[in-house]
Each structure stands twice: as structure tokens, then as C-alpha cells.
A and B are shown apart, each in its own frame.
Chain A
Amino acid sequence: MAEGTAPISPEGAAIGRPIARDDGVAKVTGRARYAADCRPPGLLHAVIAPSRIARGRVTAFDLDAAMAEPGVVAVMTPANRPPLAEDPDAKTAPIVFRLDLLQDDRIRYAGQPVAVVIGETLEAAEEGAFRLAPAYAAEPALVDIDAAEPFVPETVGLGAPVERRRGDVEAALATAAHRVQRRYETAAQVHNPLEPHAVVAVWEGDRLWVDTPSQNVARAQRRIAGLLGLPPDHVHIRSPFVGGGFGAKAFPAGPQVLGILAARLVGRPVKLVLSRAQMFGAVGHRAPTRQTLRLGLADDGTIAALAHHARVASSRFDDFFEPAAALSGGVYAAGAVETTHEAVRLDIATPVVMRGPGEATGSLALECAIDEAAAELGLDPLAFRRLNHADTEPISGRPFSSKALRACYDAGAARFGWAGRPLAPRSLSDSDGRLVGLGIGTAVFPSMMFQAEARALLRADGAAIVELGAHEIGQGAATALRQIAADALGLPLSAVTLRTGASDLPDAGGAAGSSHTATAGSAIHAAGTALVARLAALATADPASPLHGAGNAVLFAADGALHAGDGRRDPHAAVLARAGLGAIEARGAAAPDRAARASHAMAAHGAVFAEVAVDPDLGAIRVTRLVGAFAAGRIVNPRLARSQLVGGMIWGLSLALHEAAQFDPATGAIANADLGAYRIPVHADLPFVEALLVAEEDTLVNPLGVKGVGEIGITGTAGAVANAVWHATGVRIRRFPIRIEDLALAMPGREKEDDA
């Protein structure tokens, strides 16, 4: 994975520098302490007993057998679970998901916790959970998205419109010179972070200490405090390191709360860690989709109409509808455009946000359909995309705050070597006789921002501590945020300490929506700016300062000192020393600029190019090269940004070729609930992945000009890989992930390809 070529000019001493992650050494040496590493004195171990059926009731437990197992301390069931202050099925906030906390004997999905066994050892608890042997009254379960009756939900995603329209799509389709209609299927997926959900809960009277991984400690604090009837500040959540979340840790999951309740029940500290198999159960997943794209095309190659309709699945008892079609309102220019959704309810756990929720699956279908439209017209797929570049956001007509997509096409195509690609599929092969194909996809991800607060403390020695409840979930946030803090305070990086990952710190918003650097970074920037202003006020009012009398406006902070711009300077430490202050503190807050966001569309863009080689006998697909070029506003740390983009691209490859949670129609359970059969790409699947950074300046998106890089890599990539497979073989597979048997068995009979 080589370094990119596009230069990003450093702005400030720290921002823009490709420094290694601050937590790298701690992680590779094992010193980083994750939740499951915590071992308070007197610790007991709790194990969840998951439901083996997907719908019905628990009729009995063999409590005697479980309690007879040596080392078992208690069994928590609906009969003895400590009381809650809130019904876990109550919607107590605008965005809150129903939890299964042993409120009754009802089973709503396979893997739902039906009891918790607490033991002196993990082994005792596991054996007890097995001996508990729940008996069930099973009812027929439905887990097939195609077999359920659809309805139109009120909203999709987290409150987004279910339908959006601009122009008359049906009329434009009716009069279009060419029409392309295609249906695509994507599979259910499971987040599977390396670190499973874990909780270590310690009660001290009515105060609760919780070590647990979280992408949003403030939200987790509110939810847990609400359920337990505690003042929020009595719930102390610590989450210094998170071993990946991808959305599964954006909301507190039922098992985490059950660990806390188990500790309450037994009056001792309790640790509860999910097994890998249990990660395929009660902690969320990405719902499957069925998507239909309809395009009307003019003879000149422009898109007259674009309609994207998605069917998605949620659980029977709660609402999360993957907004799979929504992205298509913002990617390609079209005379008329509409995005619509329908949903079904299944006997599954409630899906939840998963890296690129909606954007990932929607981009895959859109980019395939765009490719199929280009083929219909006999156009080069990149030329077709350039021709239909959206100068304004198609669904709203708003201008973009910035958009360097054309530069991404240029940089990516040049690096990848797109020029000279033969138009016809099945034109290329390699020396091993494999069929070679080249594909492209456009990447796009909205630039979100939320509210956050931060505080900065400057000490007499000139060093600073910046505190906020931000989240280092492996993405490098702690490093990038410290870089922002250093520049905001005008200090060298070595003088800045960042404290994050605890609910006792100011609310920094969640690590979600690719927004964390923008959101938390803007709060840090505000806190740093406020602190420098206080410092400047002290200096300019101090007759002993070289800056005495200088106007605040001309001062700036850098290298640990205030500067007047004319050579006069006054070190931070000197200002404090003369003022007789041990430290000064400032707070800052950040929030999205509502006016700018109403008048402008804001998104990061990119272009992803894929090369694949397909074994013509086996249908086996190897991605041999992936090159992405991305423009995402200001890049705080190019090294970590590339790592994020490459990681996203690998997710995109996986969406196209690997990951599928396979529900057993007989039991409703996930049949491949392990990392042997649920295929996540390994290094051998990824020969060469490269992310280029394309320079882009954005003065509207937020004070830092940061757009976010966490999820955009998935978009574009999945479609590029699928399009490359078509280009290699001439076979268009529309069920994802592409199964090699579908490809192999279709290859001899290409003429039978179903264009429905």
C-alpha cells in the first residue's frame, strides 16, 4: 500500500503531518487496556444463554442443573432480574433502540439473551449456561426478505425521508431514448469488530463504574442511567480503547446492560464478554436489501431519469430501515430523480447502523446500474460518469460546498492506468489464463457534523491537557484530535496531552457518520481558540509583556508562544508566570452551521478503480488492484486518513465478494456464525490497495474544513469490483456478495444472462 501522490499542503505545525498513531506502541505491545482486560477484585464472570429459536417463548429452564455446576453463583432470568426504571421497549428518546433485557419470556430472534449465568470462573459460567438447557415453545419464524409483505415506513435511517423526488421520473422514463432497469440483491452482514462487546461492571452503592467499548459514551451514559433510574453523573463509562465498532457500538447493546444487571444481582463486580458466535446475535447487523434501479437515457448519453427503489428489512419489534436508495439523490445529474423505500418485518434482531449504512449497499447497486447503462450506450464507463457529473446536488438543486470529483477521476484514472481499457467485456487475460477486468465506481459520502464540547487546560509549564469524551475506535481519532489541539493552542505536539474515552468528560458526540474529526475537532478548535484569546488578553494587558498593547486581532499562537506578526513574541508559560496563574482553562463548543447546511450540499467524493482476475473454470475472483482517489476537505493526518480509506475500500471489496450472514430458513438462526464460514477478507485476499488524497478546500463544511474519511471508501469500491468482474467475464451477477458458483455456472451460457 504505497503512499499517495497528491500533495496536501500542511496548514499549521501539526495538522497535515502524517505522524504515526499515538496509541500504536501501546496496542502492539499489549499495554492498551480494553474493557475485557479489566479485572477488579472479586470479579465474577457472566455468560449469556442465547435463544436457539427465532420466535416463540421460553417455557422452562433447568435451574437446578445450572446451579449444581460447581462455581456457578447465580442464574439471572426474567424471574429475578433486578428491576429497571424504564421499560426497555419504551422509546424514551428520539433515537433509541429497544433492548432485550429479560423483560419477559418472549423470543423475537435467534441469539436473543434468555438468561445470564454468573460464575466464579468463565468456565463455570459457560458450563452453567449449557446446563440451563432452556425449553421452548417455538413458532414459525420468517427470515426471508422476499417472502414478507412490504410496507412503506415513516422514515429511513435515523429520521431521513423515506421518499425524495425532483422532476417527473415516470414521464422522463416514458420518453427516454433508452431505458435500463435492473434489480440487485445484497445480503445481511454482521459488523464483527475484532473486539467483541464486553462489559465490566462495578457497583458502589448507587454509583456504577462501567468499562465497555462505546462509539458514544455520552449516549451510553444517558441510556444506561435512564434504564437504571440513576442520575447520569452516577454512571461512569470508561472506553479508552475500542477494538473496532463499525456501528455495532454506536448504541449500548442489550448484553452490555445485562452485564451491569448481573453485577447488581450478585453484588459483586461482573465481567461479561460475548463470544464470536454471540456477535452474530443481539448486537446489530446490516439488513439485506433488494434494490431496483431504473434509468432513462438520452441518445447523447445524458441521464434523463434515475429512480432508485429499495426494499429493506427490519425486526418485528423495532424500526431501523437501511436508507439504501437515498444516496442516489446526490451522485449523478439527471433530468428527474427519485429515491424510494419499502420495508418488511422479519423475525430477526433489529438491524442497526453499519459502516456506510445505506450508502454502502445503495452505492453498490447504483454503480452497477450506471455501468450497465454505459454498456447499453456503448460508452466508456468513466466517460459516462464524467458526462453525467452532478454540478449541483440532483435531488435538491443545492450547490455543493466543494466538490473535487473530477480531479479524483483524473488522479485515480492516471494512477490506475484506465486509458486504453477495451470497451468490450472478456477482452483481457493474464499469463495464467485468468480473465482480467477493469471497473470503476464513484464514491460519495455526506459530510456530517454533530454537537460537541471540549475543554483545554494550559499549565504553567506551557503544556496543555485537552479533554473531551471522544472515541479512539481504531480509526486514529486520538492522534488526529491531538494534532488539531496542538495547532489550536499554538503548542508543539509534544506539549499536548489528550484525554478521551470517558463519560465524565465533555460530550464530544459519537464516533459515527464519518463525523468525529469534524465534530470533536471543531470543539477542540473552539476550546483552543478560546484559551489563546484568554492568554492574549493577559499578555496584551501586561505592561511586562513584549506584546503589551498589541491588538488581540493581530496575535496568533505558534511554537508555544503568542506572536504579534512583527517578530514580537511572548511564550505561553511566561504569560502565565507573570500573571501568577498555575493554569488557565477554556471551554469550546461546536455545532453544525444550520444556515450553510440548508443552502449547500456537503459531501466527500472519490473515484475507485478495480482490477480483477477470474479463473474461468472455477469462477474464483481475485482482486488484483484497487486504486481510490478521494477528496475529503482538509486532511488532518494523511497517514491515518489513507489507512481509513484503505480500510473502507477493503469493506467495499468484502461487500461485493465476501460477507453474507446466511439465515437458516428452518430455524431463523444465522448458519455461519463464525469467522470460518462468514468470510471476512484476509491479507491474501488483498494484494494491492492504494488510496490517493486529492486536495480540496472547503470553507463551509465546518471551521476546520474537514469532511471525514471513515466510510467513503466502501462506496464506489463495491461497485467498481462488481463492474470489473463483469468486464472480465461478460457475466453480470446482481446478487451480492458475488458467489463464484453463480459466476462459474453462468459463464458457458452467457447468452442466457437474465436482464430482468
Chain B
Amino acid sequence: MKAFDYLKPDAVPAAVGALAANPDAKLLAGGMTLLPTMKQRLAEPAALIDLAGIAGLKGITLDGDTLTIGAMTPHAEVAASATVAAAIPALAALAGGIGDPAVRNRGTIGGSLANCDPSADYPAAVLGLGATVITDRREIAADDFFLGLFETALEADELITAVRFPRPLRAGYAKFKSPASRYALVGVFVAETVAGVRVAVTGAAASVFRAPAFEAALAADFTPGAVAGLSVDAADLNADIHAEASYRAHLVTVMAKRAVAAALE
């Protein structure tokens, strides 16, 4: 592993400033992807800017029907939070199913979203709930945030500070997980909100995406049976050593059914 500099700023402006001054630097949140990537030599940043020293990036608050989770909040805290469990139980359940205990204690929601792994769980919840990503300089709607494979709307020196979730009427998440990594081979987040039904699919394609046909069917009839006959086009989906596209398409339907069933529980 190549040598690198290590910075630990104590405020958001300092972190952003360090990143702007050093284009080859990387922000370090939980490091659950970045550190193994560096170990595998897939990334060789000149410096790591550790966000762990910045107060205020961590924490969970509920204000009316708006749940706000700080970017540096680890998955385990979200999973164990009574506030999250009361407001959006599907979100707590999703966080509790990410990776393994070590990953959940280190990995953060902000890190997961900024990394935008095609198989990550959080993007499904953020897009499925129509959440808002808050950064050091602006607010980005979920529908505008996820652009592609490991690609987001974030600017090069932009830092996620929190994520704001509207409380849904009901929601559910189901995923078929890799037996080793627990990444979603396919994960489907289903939410019925005051603004309508949203269905977000992760793991299946280059990036998380919404399934409009599923949303329309569930808007008319919010039951597992409503989506049982629907499918997404396998031609748009990932194929790799873990699964072929046709099986991923099959899983989208099965996981959508199970997510609806979970939402109805």
C-alpha cells in the first residue's frame, strides 16, 4: 500500500478546504470500502481526510415527520435507534442487514451514499423514500443524486453532512444477499408516501433505479400480488459471476413482493 498523508479536520469547512486544496485526497468516513480498495491498490489517494473528528456530523433527530440522520452515523446506530424504529421501521431493518457487525459499527450512511456502490442498501432507501441529501453547500433530491456506477451528483470537493427522510405511510425492504459480503444481489425498497408509491431497486443495475410499472401497480393495489406478474427488462441489468441478468430480473419481482409484504406487516 502506497504511503499517504492523514488529516483529521475538526470542522466541515476545514475538511472541504483540505479536499479542494488536494484533489488527490479522499474523504474517509467509515472506510469500509475505501480502505480495502486501497489495500487492493485499486485506489492510491495522496491523503486521507478523516471525518471522524468533526462534531455534528453524527446523530439522529426526528422533527415532526422528518427524520434526519447525520452523515457519519454508523449503520448500527440507525439499526438500534428507537427514533428510527418508530418513524421508519423499514429503514432501521435495512441498516441492521448491511454487511456484518463490524461493517455496521464502522460504515456510515454518508459514506455509503457518496461511494454509490451498485449493490449498497442505503441508496434503495434514500431513493425509495424520496429523501434529500444535504451537503456542505446545498440540498439534493434523491431523484437527482444517483447518476450511475459509483457516480453521484456530488461535486469533487462536496461533503455530505446529513440525509433527511420524510416519514412514509408504510415501507418495506427485501433483499437477496450475497452469502459472503451481504451486499444486495438485488434489493427492493417499497414505500407508500403521501406523494404516492415509490419503488427503488438496488443491486440489479449500474445504479439504484425506480421501477415505474411497479409503482403504478402498487398505487392501485398495495399488495404483493399486484407486482407478481411484473418484471423489469433483463437487458438493462448487471450480469457477473454472482448472477446472470435474467436471475436478477426474476429477483426484482420476488423481492418487490416480499418488500410489499414486509410493508404490510
Contacts and interface: CB of A to CB of B under 8 A. Distances in A.
Interface of A: 127, 130, 617-618, 662, 671-672, 675-677, 679, 682, 740-741, 744-745
A741 B246 contact: yes
Contact of B180 (A130, A671, A679, A740): A679
A139 B156 CA distance: 40
A120 to B, nearest CB: 17
B250 interface: yes
Contact of B244 (A127, A662, A672, A741): A741
A745 B246 CA distance: 8
B180 A745 contact: no
Given A618-B254, A677-B241, A741 B180 contact: no
Contacts of B243: 741
A617 B254 contact: yes
B68 to A, nearest CB: 34
Contacts of B257: 617
Contact of B241 (A127, A618, A672, A744): A672
Given A677-B242, A740-B247, A744-B250, 4 more contacts: A675-B180, A679-B180, A682-B179, A741-B250
A129 to B, nearest CB: 11
A682 B246 CA distance: 27
A466 B93 CA distance: 60
Nearest to A679: B179
B261 to A, nearest CB: 12
Nearest to B254: A617
Interface in B154-178: 176, 178
A677 B254 CA distance: 23
26 contacts: A127-B1, A130-B41, A617-B254, A617-B257, A618-B176, A618-B254, A662-B241, A671-B241, A675-B180, A676-B178, A676-B180, A677-B241, A677-B242, A679-B179, A679-B180, A682-B179, A740-B247, A741-B243, A741-B244, A741-B246, A741-B247, A741-B250, A744-B247, A745-B246, A745-B247, A745-B250
Nearest to B249: A745
Contacts of A682: 179
Contacts of A744: 247, 250
B181 interface: yes
B180 A677 contact: yes
B251 interface: yes
Contacts of B246: 741, 745
Contacts of B251: 618
Contacts of B242: 677
A130 B38 CA distance: 13
Contacts of A741: 243-244, 246-247, 250
B147 to A, nearest CB: 27
Nearest to A658: B179
Contacts of A618: 176, 251, 254
Q: Which residue, B41, B178, B181, B254, has most C-beta atoms of chain A within 10 A? A: B254
B43 to A, nearest CB: 14
A676 B181 CA distance: 7
B260 to A, nearest CB: 14
B175 to A, nearest CB: 12
A672 B181 CA distance: 13
Nearest to B243: A741
The 7 nearest A-B residue pairs measured at CB: A741-B247, A676-B180, A617-B254, A662-B241, A671-B241, A672-B241, A676-B181
Contacts of A127: 1
Contacts of B180: 675-677, 679
Contacts of A676: 178, 180-181
Contacts of B179: 679, 682
Interface string B236-262: 000001111011001100100100000
Interface string B220-241: 0000000000000000000001
A671 B242 CA distance: 11
Q: Which residue, B176, B181, B257, has most C-beta atoms of chain A within 10 A? A: B176
Contacts of A672: 241
A590 to B, nearest CB: 45
A26 to B, nearest CB: 29
Contacts of A671: 241
Nearest to A127: B1
A485 B230 CA distance: 69
Q: Which residue, B241, B243, B244, has most C-beta atoms of chain A within 10 A? A: B241
Contacts of B250: 741, 744-745
Nearest to B253: A617
Contacts of A740: 247
Nearest to B246: A745
Contacts of B41: 130
Contacts of A677: 180, 241-242
A312 B263 CA distance: 51
Q: Which residue, A130, A617, A672, has most C-beta atoms of chain B within 10 A? A: A617
B80 to A, nearest CB: 23
A461 to B, nearest CB: 53
A360 B253 CA distance: 37
Nearest to A677: B241
Interface string B10-33: 000000000000000000000000
Nearest to A684: B179
A658 to B, nearest CB: 9
Nearest to A675: B180
Q: Which residue, B1, B41, B179, B257, has most C-beta atoms of chain A within 10 A? A: B179
A373 B125 CA distance: 51
A741 B242 CA distance: 10
Contacts of A662: 241
Contacts of A130: 41
A662 B244 CA distance: 14
A672 B243 CA distance: 13
Contacts of A675: 180
Contacts of B181: 676
B222 to A, nearest CB: 20
B2 to A, nearest CB: 8
A745 B254 CA distance: 12
A609 B178 CA distance: 28
B35 to A, nearest CB: 16
A339 B71 CA distance: 64
B106 to A, nearest CB: 18
A738 to B, nearest CB: 13
Interface string B96-119: 000000000000000000000000
Nearest to B176: A618
A130 B40 CA distance: 11
A73 to B, nearest CB: 20
A662 B251 CA distance: 23
A679 B241 CA distance: 12
Contacts of B244: 741
Contacts of B1: 127
Q: Which residue, A675, A741, A744, has most C-beta atoms of chain B within 10 A? A: A741
Nearest to B247: A741
Interface in B180-216: 180-181
Q: Which residue, B178, B242, B243, B247, has most C-beta atoms of chain A within 10 A? A: B247
B162 to A, nearest CB: 32
A722 B250 CA distance: 23
Nearest to A671: B241
A582 to B, nearest CB: 58
Nearest to A664: B241
A745 B245 CA distance: 12
Nearest to A617: B254
Q: Which residue, B1, B178, B250, B257, has most C-beta atoms of chain A within 10 A? A: B250
Nearest to B41: A130
A679 B178 CA distance: 10
A677 B242 CA distance: 8
Nearest to B228: A617
